[in-house]
Amino acid sequence: MLASVVLFLSAVLLFLFLFLTHRAKDFPPGPRPIPIFGNVLQLNLENPIADLERLAKRYGNVYSLFFGPRPAVVINGLQALKEALVNKAADFAGRPQDLMVNHAVRVKAHAPGVILADYNSGWKEHRRFGLMTLRNFGLGKQPMEQSILGEIHCIIKLLEQSVGKTMNPQMMFHNAASNIICRVLFARRFDYEDEFMKFFVGLFQETSKIINGRWGMIYDSLPMVRNLPLPFQKAFKLFKAAHEKRLEMLAENKKTRVPGKPRHFIDSYLDELDMRGNDGSSFSEDQLCAYILDLHFAGTDTTANTLLAGFLYLMNHPQIQERCHQEIDNVLGGKDEASFEDRHQMPYVQAVIHEIQRMADTVPLSVFHRTTKDTELMGYSIPRGTTIIPNLSSVLHEEGQWKSPHDFNPENFLNEQGEFVKPEAFMPFSAGPRMCLGEVLARMELFLIVVTLLRRFKFVWPVDAGEPDYTLVFGSTQTPKPYCMNVQVRKTVA
């Protein structure tokens, strides 16, 4: 009798699964899902990028996968990504709300921040507020430039202490990027050994690998394991601790705040909150805490990992580094410091920095989107509420879009006259209305840091380090494997 019941229940569960994972006639094709797991076991959970490319070759640039019973559509290549994220932007601008990243970051159920918020009036007003406030604090202008240059002086001091030695640059770049965004958020910088700095930099590095790594995919595919004591629980504990630290920072800030005279992002948000009162808007102190985390995370990890990839490539392409040295010396001459405006006279350096971004492939799968209505893409019908995975990695390395799609080559961004050009396929910040909020800040940071450091130093691959490994460690943000560098003061500025 018991065996019959078990057999009957198993048959019912199998039927339900097959029904739930059935692809409609016009839905994008894809591999057959496995009961309970969907397609998750058919992907390399350490790094699925190669598997996603393999599936695109078989099923086309728009195909579907199942994470458990939940369908997702993977979009590959410039044509499909442009149609979805730009031409039909509003249709594809939503965010899924039931993934591990949502549950981990959203300590308060009604405070998703701005990056993970769904496409609605609350997101739109927070996006507008963020853009306006960042501009008010000098985003893309000279005040921000001076803040970045100030942090670069701290990097220079560390590098000067390492001249003639071998050093690991990982924490240096993460600390510097964190401090630059902290100047906007809190109007202060932190010593690199400060506990606040250590906690948040460690949080960003660790959780980015959990959320989009093996355990994140298991969490998203198998809801029945979510309460088990598995490694993804560490991310929840870290984000809870981060929320408590942000509340402490907010309380400390209120003691010295003068309403109407904002010193930084937090003050500006609180002024906005005072002005709105109880108007029923989405502005709240919990939302402010979530927003701070968004900007701090996005402003730290992506820039730092791009710099790490950049200096790995520059050390192992000394002829490219030398050509950068020459152009920087010619353009800057006797100037004390570089300016963001100098980029217009440095086509080769511009090409190198953009090629670094392309090869760094820092956010390979963007942040997942969700359809806001029934829509179509490349002839396929996609229902409202479908999770969308924009494979930015595919377009950054797409055959036919680049002179050298798989190799580090600044010529990808130079025309026959040696002028800097930016191909349409360059979209490391994504595209459309969900494009990275801090793109201007990131571009300014990368240019000023790379130019200032290359003007003063030469970076050399250690002779005993063996062959460089360009393999990226997968996560919501990708990073090169840890490496060391030798630092030499350039004779021209000694």
Residues whose CB falls within 8 Å of the CB of residue 267, separated by 6 or more in sequence, listed in order = 253, 257, 261
| 380 pLDDT more than 90 | yes
CA quadruple 85, 87, 88, 93: dihedral positive or negative?
Answer: positive
Q: How far is CA 49 from CA 39, 104, 129, 247, 390, in A?
A: 14, 24, 35, 37, 12
pLDDT tens digits, residue range 28-50?
999 999 988 999 999 998 899 99
d(CA 182, CA 127): 19
Predicted local distance difference test score (pLDDT) of residue 112: 72
pLDDT tens digits, residue range 433-484?
999 888 889 999 999 999 999 999 999 999 999 999 999 999 888 999 999 9
Between strands 70-75 and 375-377, the pairing is unpaired
Q: Which of 286, 309, 295 is nearest to 483 (CA)?
A: 309
- Percent of the chain exceeding pLDDT 70 equals 94
Query: Which residue would you say has higher pLDDT here, 5 or 337?
Result: 337
pLDDT tens digits, residue range 212-221?
888 888 898 9
Average pLDDT over residues 250-255: 90
pLDDT tens digits, residue range 332-366?
998 999 999 999 999 999 999 999 999 999 999 99
Could you tell me the pLDDT band of residue 494, with boundaries at 50, 70 and 90?
very low
Backbone torsion region of residue 142, taken as left when φ is above 0, otherwise alpha when ψ lies between -120 and 50, otherwise beta: alpha
Domains and CATH numbers, the chain: 20-493 (1.10.630.10)
Query: Which residue would you say has higher pLDDT here, 139 or 412?
Result: 412
The helix (run of H) or strand (run of E) holding residue 73 is: strand 70-75
| 19 pLDDT more than 50 | no
| 7 pLDDT more than 80 | no
Query: Which residue would you say has higher pLDDT here, 385 or 206?
Result: 385
196: exposed, middle or buried (C-beta count within 10 Å: 0-12, 13-18, 19+)?
Answer: middle
263: exposed, middle or buried (C-beta count within 10 Å: 0-12, 13-18, 19+)?
Answer: middle
Predicted local distance difference test score (pLDDT) of residue 15: 47
Residue with token string 């050994």: 193
| 107 pLDDT more than 80 | no
d(CA 220, CA 100): 6
Q: How far is CA 189 from CA 136, 246, 488, in A?
A: 19, 15, 27
The amino acid present at 59, given as its one-letter code, is Y
Which of 12-21, 201-210, 304-313, 468-477 shows the highest mean pLDDT?
Answer: 304-313
Could you tell me the pLDDT band of residue 11, with boundaries at 50, 70 and 90?
very low
Q: Are 373 and 93 in contact (CB under 8 A)?
A: no
Q: What are phi and psi of 486, to 5 degrees?
A: -100, 140
Backbone torsion region of residue 466, taken as left when φ is above 0, otherwise alpha when ψ lies between -120 and 50, otherwise beta: left
Q: How far is CA 217 from CA 104, 317, 351, 416, in A?
A: 14, 36, 35, 45
Average pLDDT over residues 381-400: 97
Predicted local distance difference test score (pLDDT) of residue 93: 95
Predicted local distance difference test score (pLDDT) of residue 6: 44
Query: Which residue would you say has higher pLDDT here, 279 or 331?
Result: 331
What is the maximal distance between C-alpha atoms in the chain?
90
| 491 pLDDT more than 80 | no
Q: What single DSSP character describes residue 99?
A: S
Predicted local distance difference test score (pLDDT) of residue 8: 45
Average pLDDT over residues 243-255: 89
Q: Which of 28-32, 206-210, 396-400 has the lowest mean pLDDT?
A: 206-210
| 412 pLDDT more than 80 | yes
| 2 pLDDT more than 60 | no
pLDDT tens digits, residue range 262-277?
999 999 999 998 888 7
pLDDT tens digits, residue range 152-183?
999 999 999 999 889 999 999 999 999 999 99
| 13 pLDDT more than 60 | no
Predicted local distance difference test score (pLDDT) of residue 110: 56
Q: How far is CA 454 from CA 148, 165, 332, in A?
A: 16, 17, 12
